[in-house]
Structure 1
Amino acid sequence: MNNDIAAGKWKQMVGKAKTAWGELTDDELTKAEGRADKLAGLIQERYGKTREQAELEVRRFFDSNRDF
């Protein structure tokens, strides 16, 4: 899913993202604006993952919610 599409649907997807990454706050998820790079950075910081791991999780999240 490209960033434009994700940003447009992001408000609807925040709940699913909160389920996937419960340690992220609602405010952080809102500020991510559905941008994969911002979301990966938050996940990397909060969960202590490598950039590659975080990007993979975000890619899988958007792919699994493609029809949202």
Structure 2
Amino acid sequence: MKAIANALIITIATASSAFAASGAAADEGGFLAPLFLALGVAVIAFQTIPAIILLGSMVKGLFPARKEEAAR
């Protein structure tokens, strides 16, 4: 059991330095990274419209319009 734990620790220690030196981020994502960021921005932008409508409805519900007296 102790040998398995030591082997696992050694494997994890060497793998982390290998991943750090892989150079995988050298191309900076290419075309898909800005496209993904633009999609995220579009989702957030389109979600603000219903949020503003909902906020307006909640404020309108807090301050109901006064009814005029029908019986005078």
In the superposition, the TM-score normalised over structure 1's length comes to: 0.25
Q: If the length of structure 2 is used for normalisation, what is the TM-score?
A: 0.24
More RCO (CA 8 Å, sep 6+): 1
CA radius of gyration, larger in: 2
